[in-house]
Chains A and B, each alone.
Chain A
């Protein structure tokens, strides 16, 4: 039996609340968020999954329950296999999972990115601040309620604002290449024109 399936079987036997996760490729499990450090630590220590390759947040939509999931991909540098570990965040308003930075130093930036993009908090992270957006940015861009065009935002530096007299403005969508968002069926809603949230024929370019 490949090490990945072996590890998954051991996890299901040893931990309550660990279930199989539907997957098209690698071995995958759902785990309770509170057990994440324990389970990932076990995978790292006992099963040779020594490299954390990726941490990804997923927003299942405004009405989904639970709304946020954090997905970890761990890789074995000797066995050359992946395991996908997913944990749902219990609270939809303040999504929270424990940090795995004590296990992998590289988790630092991945967790900062998931926080930056989704607002998922990683408890125990040494320095949880924004990484791709600027400090003080008020929104979480990869959440599904954040529009594709962006939201007009004041720039963080008062001096720059005084000089330029402008903030970060939403992107023009008119005639853009964007067609449809996942799940949309109504073609008139999926048209690029309908997606414009900043300037249209009626509202001129600012």
Chain B
């Protein structure tokens, strides 16, 4: 006897009496441990499979480009720390070189070597964090503890050099803030010596780890064509098989004198991205060792940077000429020629670019920051479709982004 009762699932049946699946929309983030900051992804789910992913960014938008238009070139240096705040020294260098191109300044070899050493240390520190966080995302807690111990040693060295652990603001336009302290390079060498065996130990925790390989291998595959079309750079691009490294292909700051290899992936999945980052740390140590071995003597700032730098304090207090110059630089900013420059540096996350439009004077007319994390995240709507929610976590960890840089 047929019953008159409506079954609870009757609403899910269509006219033909078949079940219709309903898609669910969930917000992942902005406060989610795996989104590494304040990224929100609006996911559309069919069961546990993602059918659509729409990243919502801008939670950390501070208007850095607007701020840059309202301050002198020197004053913007601390703001570059806060882009990719895991590698402030590399950001400082990229910005300084962009402005130096505008000002047509050549910095001496010692300054270049200091910048290379600090940028590579920043790369190691950023990759260690990326690795640790990636490990946590896919369930390997131990890596995080090891890698943060090593980062702490790097921060001690940064603090000794710059006075700050995190936001260093070390680079000046036309040089660096101060020369390296006595014995600092020796300490860096010591760090490198003890770091290499530890790095192998850290990587051993993941490379042959069955759970880690299962969670990352074949997950988030980005083809070579897609990687280029979406403007991916850095380890994410190289993991997809494109051997593009600006340190090698468009050398700056004396990178052409150092020997190092550019690791390249074959499959473009999360595991390849992990392997590339691991190898990059070994290569960074190689570069640091070479830079220290031929650490050149001389000045750490360009001689003709005087029209940009404030003069030494003792001179300002005793000499009329320097006092006037100091006043002019502080109030009006360093006088730059009119023109346009675009410079990209190979940062830990990818190519960080600065496009500067100058109309002359001490303030940029327009300063556009090309953030690698912004471009790297733009592939999410493509790469997240058809994967499980737990794989989204793995993909985010493998892309290794920083929202401070993405949102600017």
Contact = CB atoms under 8 A, between A and B. Distances in A.
A24 B339 CA distance: 6
A162 interface: no
B375 interface: yes
Interface of A is mostly: loop
B229 A105 contact: yes
A50 B230 CA distance: 11
B57 A56 contact: no
Nearest to B337: A24
A56 B229 contact: no
B13 interface: no
Interface string B350-379: 010101011101111110101000110111
A84 interface: yes
Contact of A132 (B58, B362, B382): B58
Nearest to A79: B249
Nearest to A134: B58
Interface of A: 21-26, 28, 50-54, 56, 58-59, 71, 73, 77, 80, 82, 84, 104-106, 108-110, 113, 117, 130-134, 141-142, 146, 148, 150, 177-184, 187, 190, 195
B226 interface: yes
A195 to B, nearest CB: 8
Nearest to A178: B70
19 contacts: A25-B342, A53-B344, A53-B353, A54-B353, A56-B370, A59-B366, A77-B228, A84-B342, A105-B226, A106-B379, A130-B58, A132-B58, A132-B61, A148-B70, A179-B70, A179-B362, A182-B364, A183-B363, A195-B70
B341 A24 contact: yes
A23 B340 contact: yes
Given A77-B242, A77-B244, A148-B70, 18 more contacts: A24-B339, A25-B341, A25-B343, A53-B370, A73-B353, A80-B250, A105-B226, A105-B229, A105-B382, A106-B230, A106-B379, A113-B374, A133-B58, A178-B71, A179-B332, A180-B70, A181-B69, A184-B363
B137 interface: no
B67 A80 contact: no
Contacts of B250: 80
Most buried by A among B342, B344, B364: B342
Contacts of B359: 182-183
B339 A177 contact: no
Interface residues of B, number: 58
Closest 7 CB pairs of A and B: A106-B231, A132-B58, A106-B230, A56-B368, A24-B339, A109-B378, A80-B249
A23 B339 contact: yes
A120 to B, nearest CB: 13
Interface in B386-408: 407-408
Contacts of A180: 70-72, 331-333, 361-363
B179 interface: no
B65 interface: yes
Contacts of A177: 71, 75
Contacts of B340: 21-25, 28, 71, 84
B197 interface: no
Contacts of B339: 22-24
B57 A131 contact: yes
A100 B320 CA distance: 56
A120 B355 CA distance: 18
A26 B250 CA distance: 12
B86 to A, nearest CB: 21
Contacts of B368: 54, 56, 71
B183 interface: no
A56 B333 contact: no
B357 A25 contact: no
A50 B228 contact: yes
Contacts of A80: 244, 249-250
B293 to A, nearest CB: 28
A110 B231 CA distance: 10
B181 interface: no
A88 to B, nearest CB: 14
Contacts of B23: none
A203 B229 CA distance: 51
Contact of A24 (B101, B344, B361, B377): B101
B17 interface: no
A22 B358 CA distance: 12
B66 interface: yes
Interface string B237-249: 0000010100001
